[in-house]
Amino acid sequence: MVGAKGIAGLSHRSVAAEADVPLGSTTYHFATLDELLVAALRQANEGFATVLTGLGDGDLATALARRLGEFLTADRARAELEYELYLAALRKPALRPVAAEWCEAVAAALGERVDAATARAVAAVVDGISLHVLLTEAAYDEPYARELLARVLGRP
């Protein structure tokens, strides 16, 4: 529902209609709209986690730049949805712990290859590049992303 109508279009009624279930089913499982958004953001987090899995043992900057490009171009609408949910935490405190889970998941996924501070810096670069592409509709520039990630990773 958030993908189709944005966060503003989310309601128990719209979710029930889309799922073809009685309205009481959605209100039973999700007492508030914030609970619905938390569930949607958790699902988005799980989707983004696949970007960071199976990067291989090769050059990390190259693998990350390639995967980020796949994430941003394969299904742009999904990428926009995931960032819309992620950024909703700015206005909805109930979402902040789930947004923080995303940051922790990135650090954990990269933890075997880099230290915690570098993992957080990589997450910041990934967010910055992603937001730039999604907000400006600029084309994803994989060589630029690879160079920037290599710098953050301390590799020439």
How far apart are alpha carbons 1 and 65 in whole angstroms? 30
- How far, in Å, CA of 87 to CA of 111, rounded? 24
CA dihedral 10, 126, 113, 46 (to 10 degrees): 10
Local confidence pLDDT in tens for the 156 residues of the chain: 666 777 777 778 887 887 788 888 888 888 888 888 888 788 777 767 677 777 777 899 999 999 999 989 988 888 888 888 888 888 889 889 988 888 788 788 888 788 989 988 998 999 999 999 999 988 999 999 999 999 999 976
Contact in structure between 130 and 149 (CB atoms under 8 Å): no
- Where are the domain boundaries for CATH 1.10.357.10 in the chain? 32-152
The CATH class of the 32-152 domain is mainly alpha
The alpha-helical segments, DSSP class H, found in the chain are 2-5, 12-19, 23-29, 33-49, 60-74, 76-87, 96-110, 116-136, 142-152
Compute, in degrees rounded to 10, the torsion defined by CA atoms 53, 93, 77, 42. 40
Residue 150: CB atoms within 10 Å: 17
Quickly tell me which residue has 């499982």 as its tokens: 29
Q: What is the pLDDT of residue 65?
A: 94
pLDDT at 107: 80
What pLDDT is attached to residue 66?
A: 93
